[in-house]
Amino acid sequence: MCEQGENSAASSSKKGGLVSFLTGKPIEIPKKHLFGICRFVGEFEKLNRVGEGTYGVVYRARDTKTNEIVALKKMRMEKEKDGMPISGLREIMLLQSCNHPNIVCLKEVVVGRSLESIFLVMEYCEQDLASLLDNMQTPFMEAQVKCIMIQPTLDWLANWDIQCLQ
Instruction: Parse the chain into domains and list their residue ranges.
Output: 1-36, 37-156
CB neighbours (10 Å) of residue 107? 16
Low-confidence residues of the chain, pLDDT below 70? Answer: 1-18, 20-22, 29-36, 79-82, 115, 152-166
What whole-number distance in Å separates Cα of residue 157 and Cα of residue 160? 5
Q: Which amino acid is at 84?
A: M
pLDDT tens, position by position, 59-80: 999 999 999 999 999 988 776 6
Q: What phi and psi, each to the nearest 5 degrees, are found at residue 120? A: -100, 130
Question: Per the annotation, does 73 bind a ligand?
Answer: yes
The predicted-structure confidence for 103-118, as pLDDT tens digits, reads as follows 889 999 998 887 678 9
E strand spans, the chain: 18-19, 26-27, 44-53, 56-63, 69-75, 106-111, 118-123
As a CATH number, domain 37-156 is 3.30.200.20
3-state secondary structure 129-154: HHHHHHCCCCCCCHHHHHHHHCCHHH
SS3 at position 121 = strand
Strand 56-63, strand 69-75: pairing: antiparallel
Measure the CA–CA gap between 116 and 114, rounded to whole angstroms. 5
